[in-house]
Chains A and B, each alone.
Chain A
């Protein structure tokens, strides 16, 4: 997993819970020699799962809820760092429809070693968008948060009607999010 996700995560924890908490979860998850993340590096995605678990133990919240909260934060950061991806769009539907075909494609050009999921979309009717996440890694909760962050970013009257976990390569590796636009598409 790219370092950018880790540096954003440590900044997220420090901002919400303080440096002491960050220090403890790093110590608990990866020991004193670890946790020196740089956006240029690449780290094992299990380290991210460990950090989130440690944060859960620390805060009493579920790892799921924390990962989703981080996803929401991460979306805003992605949008800030890559204004070109959101420029010119005023609705989450067309944006989400090009994550797979454009955004993650650009990510792969920049980082050939990026480990990306597939984000498939489908419109059963004009007012509904189904976003299906599939990955070899269990980050459905992160995808959930990214979707929430996306809705929040565009501020359009769209709600996440349902999240359905799908059978995949293990728990949390596949999920479908059903988004509905209020008042018809």
Chain B
């Protein structure tokens, strides 16, 4: 029992240390700050929104920013500030759980492929490559138009498409470990495959997979917002940055405020995740090959 507690304490200390290292560089600190700000905003914003996000008032159409409506109003007369601070909630939730799913299936399949190697590995990777060559957005549109745009469809669908890259990373990391003598040693002792994966491989590939997952999160966020932009993500009147940008983009020349606020919201979140993922990778000593989406 004591053992387990000690272990938890150790893990906790390790996490704390990683976060400290991340925050020790300006870019990491900025990234973490932005990310934490967004997360807190998403959780708490319903408590202090000044207006009802769906209250339509034609008389207030496209008002510029003022002391009453800080970010102005949109074409239906809704308060842009209210909608902006609420607009990241769905995106964050969907992509966070989507990334978890991507991590889970991508990581397991990648480790499995790396472990078994040979023909099976070849075939699986071919299939993955074939999937990679389909423009994901087309496939997503197909899925969403068949099954609808509820979060219960979006989360697994996004998770599936963004897991492919994780498979590659997990497989490569596993390949590196698998030839090491400590794996040979475990096999010679007679440990089961499950035990070898869990005790020997996972601790050594976990960091690489998590960094890739964090990266994929920001890609997914961009992807999800694109879907909303195209009208296949969040359905109105729920506030969402992608949707807000889409609705207001035609009015950009005379009502910039309706577009600007969601753009700042979305890009700052993506940049925040990116910087954080970068710092995370550096803190864990991992060379990241995947490039940021922005």
Do chains A and B stick together as partners?
no
Report which A residues bind B (CB closer than 8 A). none
